Copies of this chain bind each other. A is one copy, B any other.
Amino acid sequence: MDRHLPPNAALAALRIDGARLWQSLMDLAQIGATPKGGVCRIALTDLDRQGRDLFVQWARGAGCSIRVDAIGNIFARRAGQDDNLPPVMTGSHIDTQPTGGKFDGNYGVLAGLEVVRTLNAASVRTRAPIEVAVWTNEEGSRFVPVMMGSGVFAGAFTLEHALAQRDAQGVSVGEALASIGYAGQLGPAPAVGSYFEAHIEQGPVLENHARVIGVVTAALGQRWYDVTVQGMEAHAGPTPMELRRDALLAASELVLEVNRIAVQRAPHARGTVGTMELFPNSRNVIPGRASLSVDLRAPDDAQLLDMDAALRAACARIATERSLQITVEQVVYFPPQPFTPQLVQAVRANADDLGYSSMDVVSGAGHDAVYLARVAPAAMIFVPCDDGISHNEIENAAAEHLEAGCNVLLRAMLAAAEVVA
């Protein structure tokens, strides 16, 4: 299968409409718009319904048929010459963080819609059907697990498990889906021919290297831990330095060690302590207990296991040296997920053909595409976002970069779906 477009002059000149894509993004961002320019459109709320309804209206307007599955994923289908072929799919999510931006997720969905509109305008017909998916509850702000819709679709967990989850008010996913009218049809997930997802990078690498397209080769595996350091609280005044069992001192060594574990495994490994709570957390009391989170990420499981071993060894060493207890409990594991080499190469080659600067990157965060890669050939296209900032109302991206990513998506999907007329 040739992942380049056929050498057809008209097709080679085919481009998406960047202004139309931008306008779609701005229009959808009105639903749940925040005063600071961001979006608050939490999964399965009425605002989510309004966003879904707008997408469905646009997709129907572009000639697509709509299907909703039992976890509320929406599939907008542009028929192919042979509708028995598994579709070439793209998509992402339109739910946001409580103080989210206009681009995270929304870009991937509306880039898919823009591909459909572009094909319609140029009367391009494909052999395989094309589908644009809107995955339910990627963010996990209201209901966990995160990436819920794509997780159910890929069999990462069951539909029943997902539907039974409740928010802080006790409302279940099933109830919330029914209340917004997006509890769709039961049935097995249909086969997917290939899956592409365009997304803002949510990190600083592309901007830092001044590249337009990130060719995403893999998503990092993740191991998250709860670590507790148990020392002995004591008065800061009367207790000499050598008789202390200071939990914060041990925790601080561990923070530096977590950083070292990742730095030593450059460029892709990550190590982060994001939370720390001290007890009793009083100005003149030596901390008796420190609870912290550790987040380790790596592109392959061997490296991630190696980091796990280094973390546990560091905890054991620090505990012995400082005469205190350190417990380590793993609470989350996402395996590393390589994307499909042929599709990754299609992204890279089409970026080159279009004259966009690009570089290979890994995805440090989870995305719906990571679950889709379990059941279909899959790849992702990253574009830069300002200062790498996301999950923030000031999240921003350049229109020309969003347009470039969408052009790469168009060509990669056309190559996969095969142009017949």
Interface on A for B, CB 8 Å cutoff?
Answer: 201-205, 208, 220, 222, 224, 234-243, 246, 248-249, 251-253, 255-256, 259, 262-263, 266-267, 269-276, 278, 281-287, 293, 295, 297, 363-366, 388-391
Contacts and interface: CB of A to CB of B under 8 A. Distances in A.
Given A248-B273, A259-B241, A278-B276, A234 B284 contact: no
A203 B285 CA distance: 12
A259 B240 CA distance: 11
B239 A295 contact: no
A274 B286 contact: yes
Contact of A388 (B234, B253, B388): B234
B276 A275 contact: no
Contacts of A248: 255, 273, 276
A36 B262 CA distance: 46
Given A249-B259, A272-B284, A286-B274, A363 B203 contact: no
Closest 5 CB pairs of A and B: A203-B238, A237-B364, A252-B252, A236-B272, A237-B365
A365 B237 CA distance: 5
B388 A239 contact: yes
Contacts of A239: 203-204, 270, 364, 388
B282 A275 contact: yes
A239 B248 CA distance: 26
Contacts of A235: 202-203, 364-365, 388, 390-391
A274 B282 CA distance: 5
Nearest to A267: B240
A253 B270 CA distance: 19
A392 to B, nearest CB: 9
B249 A363 contact: no
Nearest to A364: B237
Contacts of A285: 274
A388 B201 contact: no
Nearest to A296: B236
A237 B278 contact: no
Nearest to A202: B238
Contact of A295 (B220, B246, B284, B364): B284
A284 B225 CA distance: 11
14 contacts: A201-B238, A203-B238, A203-B239, A204-B243, A234-B388, A235-B390, A237-B364, A241-B270, A241-B271, A246-B272, A249-B256, A252-B253, A273-B287, A276-B281
A278 B251 CA distance: 14
Contacts of A388: 234-235, 238-239, 243
Contacts of A364: 235-239
Contacts of A243: 204-205, 208, 388
A49 to B, nearest CB: 28
Contact of A249 (B242, B255, B275): B255
Contacts of A242: 263, 266
Contacts of A241: 259, 262-263, 266, 269-271
A195 to B, nearest CB: 20
Contacts of A266: 240-242
Nearest to A203: B238
A237 B270 contact: yes
Contacts of A236: 270, 272, 274, 295, 297, 364
Given A273-B248, A364-B235, A389-B234, A240 B203 contact: yes
Contacts of A281: 274-276
A290 to B, nearest CB: 9
A236 B240 CA distance: 37
